[in-house]
Amino acid sequence: MAPRSRGEPGSNSRGRPLSRQQRYVRIATTIATIPVIGYLHYLTGEDYEFHPVFLLPVIAATWYAGTAGGLVAALVSAGVWFAVDWRLTGAAAPGVLLLNELLRLSVLLVVAFLVSRWKAALDRESSLAQTDPLTGLANHRAFFDRGAAELSRARRYHHPVTVLFLDLDAFKAVNDTMGHEVGDALLRTVAQVLCAQSRVNDIGGRLGGDEFALLLPETGPEAAFAYATSLRQRLLEAMRLHGWPATFSIGVAAFRTLPDDFCHLVSRADALMYAVKQSGKDGIRAEVF
């Protein structure tokens, strides 16, 4: 449920990490272009400066597969480049060809290393922009972005969706009497329980302060209420274990008929959570829409 690291090699057009199969397909396609580049270099001959094109598959392979993919592409590119030059020159100066080969391979490897570092830096920045720094969950913006994408998918396949809105009771008292460090530890513990109790496709986020939300794809009303009951018990156990006097108000909005706007799902769950607050806190209220 916690956001996956954007440091994983490669991502699709929506910024989500590519699957292993998708990466393999793209790497294989990239490597397969190298002989084509070599053949075009052979056709154009030495009169045309076709050499920089060999950098492209190295850059692409590094982007989708990290340093290892870039290393493979660099070795293949250098080998094809050497073979073509050998044919074009008729091996008239093998020493020069070998020296050029070493220089080319060095340049290709440096390019692969630099692209790998650049991609890793971009991934870290992207992850930080979407992650709550205290809990590691999706932040407000990322939760709504991912939720909107999941809602679109659920509408396409007519799957039910449930949103849980969770608010801590007496969190201010914990902060005031035990200190902000304890309050931060409490929030991190809540996030850990949420992650431990959730499936890989569930989306969890910290929306701000002591408010958390969960999107449960393909989850109907009965399963959602059972999940919320179990989650609340786990959270209360964690609070008792640490001696924290916090409880939880949870709103559960299960949708069979899906609206167009993801904000509508969250606002329904928020309203149910608020109803729990108004009726004495420390409980669950669920409705089906």
Per residue in 225-238, pLDDT tens? Answer: 999 999 999 999 99
Task: Kindly report which listed range (4-18, 78-92, 99-113) carries the lowest average pLDDT score.
Answer: 4-18
Q: How many CB atoms lie within 10 A of CB 120?
A: 15
Nearest to 35 by CA among 57, 18, 2, 14: 57
Report d(CA 67, CA 87) in Å as an integer.
Answer: 30
Q: Which residues, at least 6 apart from 130, have a Cβ–Cβ distance to it below 8 Å?
A: 3, 6, 138, 139, 141, 142, 145
Report d(CA 185, CA 189) in Å as an integer.
Answer: 6
Q: How many CB atoms lie within 10 A of CB 286?
A: 19
Per residue in 17-75, pLDDT tens? Answer: 556 666 677 777 788 888 888 888 788 776 676 678 888 888 888 888 788 888 888 88
CB 147 within 8 A of CB 265: yes
Catalytic-residue membership of 210:
yes
Q: Which of 210, 260, 270, 282 is catalytic?
A: 210
How many CA atoms within 13 Å lie on the side-chain side of 119? 25
Amino acid letter for position 73: A
Residue-range domain boundaries for the chain: 20-128, 140-288
Q: How confident is the model at residue 6 (pLDDT cuts 50, 70, 90)?
A: very low
Give the position of tokens 């809540």: 190
Beta-sheet strands, E only, within the chain: 161-169, 203-208, 211-217, 247-255, 283-288
The superfamily (CATH) of domain 140-288 is Reverse transcriptase/Diguanylate cyclase domain (3.30.70.270)
Residue 139 sits at φ, ψ, to 5 deg, of: -80, -175
The pTM score is 0.63
Average predicted confidence (pLDDT) for the chain: 85
> Residue 170 has what DSSP assignment?
S
Report d(CA 231, CA 209) in Å as an integer.
Answer: 20
CB 202 within 8 A of CB 213: no
Both tokens of 88, joined, read: 């074009």
On the question of pLDDT at 81 being above 90, the answer is no
Q: Which residues, at least 6 apart from 277, have a Cβ–Cβ distance to it below 8 Å?
A: 167, 169, 249
